[in-house]
Structure 1
Amino acid sequence: MDKLKLTDREWGEFFIGGKDGIFSIKATKSGIDKNKLNTEIGNIPYITRTDMDNGINLFITDAQNSKYTQDNGNVITIGLDTQTVFYQQNSFYTGQNIQVLTCDKLNKQVAMFIIPLLKIQMKKFSWGSNGATLGRLNRTKIKLPINKQNEPDWQFMEDYIKQIEQEKIKQLIGYYQTKLLDNQLKNDIGGGKVYKIQWDIFKISDFFDFMRGNQNNMAKCKKGDIPLISARKVDNGYKDFIADNGKKLFPAHIITLNNDGDGGVGLAYYQSTQTALDTHVTALLPKINLAKNVMLYICLTISIQRDKFSHGYSINNERLSAQKIMLPIDDKGNPNWQFMEDYIKQIEKDKIETLLSYLNQYNALVESRESRVESRESRVESRESRVESRESRVESRESRVESRESRVESRESRVESRESRVESRESRVESRESRVESRESRVESRESRVENSMGEI
C-alpha cells in the first residue's frame, strides 16, 4: 500500500458536538471529589484534569459509593478549565468537571488522529469563566479529512495513525537492536563476573559541590529550547522549555535534587544537557570524573532516602552537606565505580531486551493482522472481479435476449400485418361471393320466369 499523506484527502469543517456534531458530549457519570474517594488500590483508572499520565491520577477499586457509576471506555475526555484531552480505552471513574465525548466510529487510532486537532481548539479556552464548557464545545469546529460523500473519512484516519505506529515501532526496534549490539552491552555485563559486594557510607559532599537554582520567576520565562527543571515528581523534573533570560545556566552531566515540593522532595535526577533550574532545585556538580551510569546509580541511592524529607522539612545546603549515601566498595575501600557502571548497564540491557520482545511481538501481531487484511482484500477483489465478470456475461445474455425479443416482435408484427391483409382479402372475397350468390339468385329467378312464360306460350 502506498504511503498515506494528509494531502491525499479533502478536508471539511465539523462541529465537535451538538445536533450536527460528530460527538455526543456529556458530563461524566461519576465526578467523585478525591476526598470522597475510596483510594484503595485497584485497576480502575481515576481520571482528573491533570495534564500528565493520560489524565490518570491513580488506580482504584470499584468499591465506591453506589451513586457513582463508571464511564465506559473507548471515549475521549476533556477537562474543564485545564482543557486536557485524552483517549480512555477502558472504563473509568473521574473527578469533577470532566466532559466525555462518544462516537460510534471512534477507536484508538481515530482518537489519536482527532485529539491533536481538539487540543489546537482547546488553546482558545482558559481557566475560570472561559473554560471548555459543554456549550462552548458544541459550538467549536474542527477540520477532518472527508470522503466522496463529504463525511469524515474515518478509515483514512485509522489507517494514517496505524501507518505512523508501524513506522515508530520499526524505528524503535532498529534503535534498540543497535544499542543492544553495542560493545558495552552485547556481552554479559562485567564479562559474566560475579561480584561479592561490600558497602560503605559516604557523604554526598565527598563527590559533589552544591549550587542552588536561580529561576525565581518562572511566570515571566519565555518559550525557548532550554529545559527548565523544577521540583516535580515526574518527567525527570522537566517543567518547560524556556529562552535564555540572562540567568546562569547549569552544565550538562549533573544531578538535580528537589529541595521541596508537593510529592517530589528528595528526588534526584540525572541531567544530560544544559539546563535552567528553579530555586526549589539544587544542582549536584561532580568534583571528579563520573560516568553517566554511575551518576544514575547515585541518583537512586539519594532518592531512596526521600521519605525523611517533606514540605515542612525541606533540603538545604546544610542538610545536604550532612547527607550520607551507601555505595558498593572495592577491596581497597573505595567506591566501586565499575560495579555501579555495570549494574546500570545490566538494568538497561534487561529493559531493552524486554522492550524489544514486546515491540517484536506487537510488530509481528500487526504484520499478521495486515497480512490477513491484505488476504481478505485480495479475496474480496477476486470476488468482485468474478461478480463483474458474471455481470458482464449476464448483460451480454440480456442484450442477446433483447435482440431476439426485438426480432420476434418484428416477425410478430409482420405476421399480424399479413394476417390483417389476409383477413381483409377474405372479407373482400366473402363480399364478392355474397354479390355473386345474389346475382346467381337473380339469374335463377329470371330463368324461372322465362321458363314459366315459355310454358304459357
Structure 2
Amino acid sequence: MVPLIDIFDVWYGVNLEVVNSEVVSAGIPFVSRQSVNNGVVCHVKKMDDVEPNPSHTLSIAVSGSVLSTFYHDYEYYSGRDIYVAKPKIKLTKEEMLYYCYVIEQNKYRYNYGRGANKTFRSILVPSKDEIPKYVRTKEAEIRFCNKPIISNKIKLNTDSWKWFRYDEIFEICKGFYNKKPEENPIGDIPFIGATDSNNGITSMHDLDTIKDASKTGDEPNAPLEQKIFKSNCITVSNNGSVGYAFYQPKEFTCTHDVNPLYIHKKWNKELNIYIAMFLCSLIEKERFRWDYGRKWRPKRMPDSLIKLPVRKITPNEYEPDWQFMEDYIKSLPYSSSL
C-alpha cells in the first residue's frame, strides 16, 4: 500500500458555481459534491476564460458527500471542494475505476461532518502492482441496445385494474438477522442491503464466509440454508431506504432489513425479469407511505395493497394479468437490454 499522492497528482478543481454558469442541454459536464450520477449535476456552456479539468482524471469530493470519487473520460468543470486526481503512471479506465472504489472505502473516516481536504492525499491505496488481476479482466464499457422487444406500443389504463393484498400476490419472507459476512470482492454471492442503488447489492461474498458468519461471532450458528435465498424474486427494503425494490436473478444473502418476495404459488406463475420490472415500479410508488422512520416489516407488508392489471376468469373473479405486465415492459425502449 502506498499514499494516494504516490499514484496521482492532485490539485483543486476549477471551483465554479452553477448559478454563475449558463446551463445548457449539451455542454461541459458540471461536477459537484454529490454521490450520484457520476457527480454531474448539469451541463454548462464552455467558458472562454476557464479551462476545464482534463479528461482521464478522478474527481474527489472533500466535503458534502465526502470522498465520493468518480472517473471522467471527458473534460468537465467542477464546483467547490472538488479535487482532481491525474495518474502519474499509465492506468487503464478499469484501473481508474478500481481506484475510485478504493478511495471511497475510506468514507467512514469522515463521518460526523469531518472534511477530507487536509488528509485525503495520505490515504493508503494499492500500488499498481497490487491491483487485483480480476480488475484487468473486467470491461468498463457496457453498451445498451435501446430497442424494445415488442414494437407495438401498449397503453396503461389503471381504471380497470384491481386491488390485491400483498400476501395474495407474494409469499413474503423475512431476511436473515445476521452479522454481515466478511467481504470477498471476487465472491459470487451478493449481499442485499437496505440501499437505494446497485440493485440492492452492498457487497459480494463466498459461501464459506457466509456459512461461518454469525450475529455475535459465537456458536451456535444458523445453517447455511437459512442464510441463502433462492433467485428469481424481488427484494424490498423495509428499513433505511424503505420501499426500494429490486429483481434478484441469482441466489443471494441479505440483511433482515430486506423482505424477499416470491410470486405466490397459488398463481402457478414463475417470475421473470419483465414482470419483476413492472412490479418493482409499482412497489416503489408506495415509498411515500414509509417516510419519517416508519418500517415496512414483514408483519406490516401483508396488509399493504397493490393495484394490478387483471383478466376476468369468472363473472366475479379476477387474476393478475401477468402477460400484460410482461408485454408492457417488453414494449418499452431498452427492454432488449434487460
Instruction: With the length of structure 1 as denominator, give the TM-score of the two structures.
Output: 0.49
User: How far does residue 221 in structure 1 lie from its aligned partner after superposition?
Assistant: 2.8
CA distance change for structure 1 residues 227 and 70 in 2, over 3 Å: closer, same or farther?
farther
User: Are 1:234 and 2:192 an aligned pair?
Assistant: no
* 8 A Cα contact 1:17 1:138, kept in partner: no
Decide whether the 8 Å contact of 1:211 with 1:283 is kept in 2: yes
Q: Which structure has greater helix proportion? A: 1
Q: What per-residue deviation string (whole Å, max 9, x for no partner) do you get for residues 139-189 of structure 1?
A: 99757xxxxxxxxxxxxxxxxx9xx78xx68xx58xx69x98xxxx4x646
**Which residue is equivalent to 1:270?**
247
Counterpart secondary structure, 1:282: strand
What is the aligned partner in structure 2 of residue 260 from structure 1?
239
Equivalence for 2:164: 202
Deviation at 1:301, TM superposition (A): 1.3
Equivalent position SS for 1:338: helix
More strand by share: 2
Which has the higher Rg, Structure 1 or Structure 2? 1
Offset, 1:17: 6.0
Matched, 1:59 2:52: no
Larger relative contact order (C-alpha < 8 A, sep ≥ 6)?
2
The answer to whether 1:302 aligns with 2:283 is yes
1:25 is the counterpart of 2:2: no
Against the structure 1 CA distance between its residues 335 and 24, is the aligned structure 2 distance closer, same or farther, given a 3 Å change threshold?
closer
Could you list the runs of 5+ residues in structure 2 that have no partner in the other structure? 45-49, 111-115, 130-135, 212-223
3-state SS of the aligned residue for 2:334? helix
Alignment of 1:118-133 (within 5 A): 118=99, 128=109, 133=119
Partner of 2:295: 314
String of CA shifts for 1:407-430, please: whole Å, max 9, x gaps: xxxxxxxxxxxxxxxxxxxxxxxx
SS of corresponding position for 1:221: coil
Partner of 2:175: 213
1:70–1:91 CA contact under 8 A, matched in 2: no
TM-score, normalised by the number of residues in structure 2: 0.63
Q: Which residue of 2 aligns with 1:101?
A: 85
Tell me how far apart the structure 2 counterparts of residues 139 and 287 of structure 1 sit (CA, whole Å).
Answer: 48
Residues 233, 260 of structure 2: 8 Å contact kept: yes
CA distance in 2, matches of 1:324, 1:334: 15
The offset of 1:73, in angstroms, is 4.8
Deviation at 1:116, TM superposition (A): 5.2
Q: What SS class does the counterpart of residue 273 from structure 1 fall into?
A: coil
Task: Letter of the 2:232 partner, please give it.
Answer: H
SS in 1 for 2:188: strand
Cα distance change, pair 70–138 in 1 and its aligned pair in 2 (3 A): farther
Following superposition, the deviation at residue 214 of structure 1 comes to 1.0
| 1:325 CA drift (Å) | 1.0
The counterpart of 1:290, out of the listed 238, 258, 270, is 270
Letter in 2 for 1:199: W
Give the partner amino acid of 1:280: D
Letter in 1 for 2:270: L
- Tell me, yes or no, if the aligned pair for 1:45 and 1:91 is still in contact at 8 Å: yes
Q: How many residues align?
A: 281
- The Cα offsets for residues 345-371 of structure 1, whole Å up to 9 and x where unpaired, read as 212xx3257x8xxxxxxxxxxxxxxxx
Q: In the alignment, residue 200 of structure 1 is paired with which amino acid? A: K
Q: Is the 8 A contact 2:14 2:53 kept in 1?
A: no
Conserved 8 A contact 1:24-1:101 = yes
* CA distance 1:272–1:30, change in 2 (3 Å): same
SS of the residue aligned with 2:331? helix
Q: What are the Cα deviations for residues 379-437 of structure 1, in whole angstroms up to 9, with x where unaligned?
A: xxxxxxxxxxxxxxxxxxxxxxxxxxxxxxxxxxxxxxxxxxxxxxxxxxxxxxxxxxx
8 Å CA contact retained: 1:42, 1:59: no
In the aligned structure 2, how far is the partner of 1:269 from the partner of 1:209?
Answer: 16
**Shift in Å, 1:231:** 1.1
Q: Residues of 2 paired with 1:139 and 1:204: CA distance?
A: 47
Rate the CA distance shift 1:340–1:225 in 2: closer, same or farther, 3 A: same
Question: How many angstroms apart in 2 are the aligned matches of 1:93 and 1:314?
Answer: 38
Report matched runs for 1:13-162 at 5 Å. 24-30=9-15, 45-48=30-33, 50=35, 53-54=37-38, 56=39, 59=41, 72-74=53-55, 76-77=57-58, 79=60, 82=67, 84=69, 86-87=71-72, 89-94=74-79, 96=81, 98-102=82-86, 112=93, 115=96, 118=99, 128=109, 133=119, 136=122
SS at match of 2:282: helix
Q: Secondary structure at the match of 1:318?
A: coil
The answer to whether the 8 Å contact 1:76/1:101 transfers is yes
Which residue of structure 2 aligns with residue 323 of structure 1? 304
The answer for the alignment partner of 2:215 in structure 1 is none
Deviation at 1:344, TM superposition (A): 1.5
